[in-house]
Chains A and B, each alone.
Chain A
């Protein structure tokens, strides 16, 4: 057995202190296989060692939360004995190295997290960030990631119903691919991962194990450098057809009563799933690697344990019932093997060829993994942007046209038309709106789903940005008519060993936590992706938030498209004209400094509750929350979704027109209605600010004394992304 040198330890991503801890736990020098196990289990990706301290501060409970963070996904009660199970997870590093497979297996992984718990996946979403459009790799990455997400989700037959995409040069060397899945289960049929009952069988199902993805989790826990291309072999290859078989087989098996515990093999594969299951249940495991279905011969114990081959599950089944599981797996032509037993030793003993290859104590490895209180520096708040006449545009609608034709604001149709968003036959609100709405089949209930984050706000002020990301998802869910229930957070940041980056993380967590408390909107699952930097350049802090909400009657949901001519357009919420960190300043004035808009959570809640009640009473025909770009962009998006024009009056009053048109004040909604008087009355009685700002109709968008044809706006709005993707640089 090779002696473990300092070099080997370093190659496994363990610090000297961590290795000392390994020695203390083992009471001897580990062998290479054992060291490999420590390496992945204690990687940032699996252990959350830098983030754990802060994640613990997030609010995670509410009367409707059935299961919060710590399991494969979060579980929320949606009434009638049904639960929504959901989570968002990153696959950033693999997607940069190999965009198609990286993104595809990201979707596959998050789907498994959800159906592992007994849910049929009913919707996917994704939050994507790419580098500058001018960067030579961006087009290739966009093309590969979108095709990979589609390739996996379309084949497996789960609709991809929305998401978001940003471009910013900070992601040039580190794109973000965050995938979210929502599933539906019965509350009395939810499956957990805690392995219990010494003597129970440990069962492996799914695909065979190969050499792919070895040390993927470790790769995802370091910065990139110029050698990152060499990490391609650590990216797994996805097989959506096998995953489809696995979904159906697992759900069929879950309808029986043979499963004691179940966990998918995600990052760090067999090692991580076995350790997590045993640790949660307080048991030991004895596993025989000779029994693990292998794709190739000659694999070592090290490779078996660290492989991240996809589409595999580990289950604990009562002895004597294995044949039931076996019959179902064989029907679906999946591999099935009893690979070990649970023991009461609290140790993981791995055998191969009759020899013990690893013998490790479970608890210290899994639950007593390192936890760091990394030093952090608070991000200094920026001063408010001060208005000066230099930025006043000559023409508001020409400026609008320029914004709508910009990379970050143009239509994402080119992306979502490559995703099957209608399969399963329950998609009520399709991509392109504020939130998707999926009918809960067999009921009138509608499940609203969205993802959001505004990284430029988070960079300027992580605390306000974190708050805003949560508030915006809450607003998105509200804007379709649903009651927001809970969120999943996907924290994407740079190197946490840099106190400034750690300060961004801490700030964002504090903001997220505050918003969740104030809005009764807990975090039920999440994922942390750190070390998103290349050559010292970190990404913008990107705490992507995925959220769900519920409405009792999907038929009442509204979208962003105008539904007819001659309807009143009302602006709900107060417009003070906050221009700092706005799209207008960034895209038109090229100014990127200034404080982002603040979210007043009391007003947020009051305005949102009011809008939701208006939708519930069938008083609105369309609704759109105001976010990136402000009022004029919001109007334009409604116009473009319907091909119906609008006439907007200048009622800016004392506010500078540029601030009124492009300010990004929070907690605002644009609505259309045939019952303006009734709405104004109700808003006033609830102390909600409301203004009648215009009327729908015609073929033009008119604002103040300007006017532009809707077709002209459409050309640039729909044109940028497809044109960009076909040009060769």
Chain B
């Protein structure tokens, strides 16, 4: 089982992600530099959090044109699993691998706190360790996490059950009060049509250990491990 993490000069949660991947997958991911144009064949590609090139423009907008991104797109087309967290999610929308856009939080401020998420589906390699409708608690840390898509796109996403996670209250209330950042339909994470790409704003990699944010993110990495083991035989 091989994984790779793409490192942009402004990535800053790559170490957190490497720790979480290593703990569940048992191996270290390859660290691929943004300026590289080759990406070895891997089973999982991770786009970590951070500020890829400073993000003084729109978050992830420049990263979507980085040298390595064509290879990410190629492997995505071949069905390689891709997880984009925070800046990684922003990059996935900017490249068009996922629909919609991530705008500035509705309160116009950076938000760092634990949030509750409702697991909308568990039939993917990323979420099979959860039960559908589980309420989990993991941290967010972003300025631009306000998910937007037009009505037709939102309808399609809902019809095709592509929402992965929604912001909710401690009892699973999906409402305006518990909509952290103004996201359409409280969307915190979503899949592409084939289900091999997940983009999400919250940070499961910061919730894999007791006393360090809890363990509600751990099932995601364990799921990936179990799923890849099964697939690879």
Contacts and interface: CB of A to CB of B under 8 A. Distances in A.
A555 interface: yes
A417 B112 contact: yes
A418 B111 contact: yes
Given A241-B53, A244-B10, A244-B12, A420 B112 contact: yes
B205 A155 contact: no
Interface string B32-71: 0000000000000000011101111000000000000000
Contacts of B205: 425
Contacts of A417: 111-113
A248 interface: yes
Nearest to A428: B211
Contact of B110 (A248, A333, A418): A418
Interface in A549-570: 554-555, 557
A439 interface: yes
Nearest to A143: B109
A554 B211 contact: yes
Nearest to A333: B9
B39 to A, nearest CB: 19
Interface residues of A, number: 34
Contacts of A242: 54
Contact of A424 (B16, B53, B55, B211): B16
B212 A241 contact: no
Contact of A423 (B19, B54, B55, B141): B141
Given A155-B10, A244-B12, A418 B211 contact: no
B15 A422 contact: no
A420 B53 contact: no
Contact of B212 (A240, A420, A427): A427
B8 to A, nearest CB: 10
Contacts of A441: 15, 19
B137 interface: no
B111 A426 contact: no
Contacts of A245: 9-10
Contacts of A150: 110
Contacts of B213: 422, 427
A420 B56 CA distance: 18
Interface in B100-115: 109-113
Given A245-B9, A423-B12, A240 B54 contact: yes
A453 B116 CA distance: 36
A419 B113 CA distance: 9
For chain B, the bracket of interface size reads 20 to 34
Contact of A241 (B10, B16, B109, B110): B10
Interface in A198-241: 239-241
A527 B163 CA distance: 51
A490 B22 CA distance: 41
A720 B50 CA distance: 32
Contacts of B54: 155, 239-242, 244
Interface string B75-113: 000000000000000000000000000000000011111
Given A421-B112, A428-B211, A155 B51 contact: yes
A150 B55 CA distance: 15
A346 interface: no
B14 to A, nearest CB: 9
A154 interface: yes
Nearest to A446: B211
Nearest to A245: B9
A422 B141 contact: yes
Interface in B108-130: 109-113
B206 interface: yes
Interface string B130-143: 00000000010101
B9 A423 contact: no
B218 interface: no
Interface of B: 9-13, 15-16, 19-20, 49-51, 53-56, 109-113, 139, 141, 143, 203, 205-206, 210-213
10 residue pairs, one from A and one from B, having the closest CB atoms: A157-B12, A241-B54, A425-B16, A420-B141, A155-B51, A422-B206, A422-B139, A418-B110, A420-B112, A150-B110
26 contacts: A150-B110, A155-B55, A157-B12, A239-B54, A241-B9, A244-B9, A244-B51, A244-B54, A248-B9, A332-B9, A417-B112, A417-B113, A418-B112, A420-B112, A422-B203, A422-B206, A423-B49, A423-B141, A423-B206, A425-B13, A427-B212, A439-B212, A441-B19, A554-B211, A555-B211, A557-B211
Given A156-B12, A244-B12, 11 more contacts: A147-B110, A240-B54, A242-B54, A245-B9, A417-B112, A419-B110, A423-B49, A423-B141, A423-B206, A425-B15, A441-B15
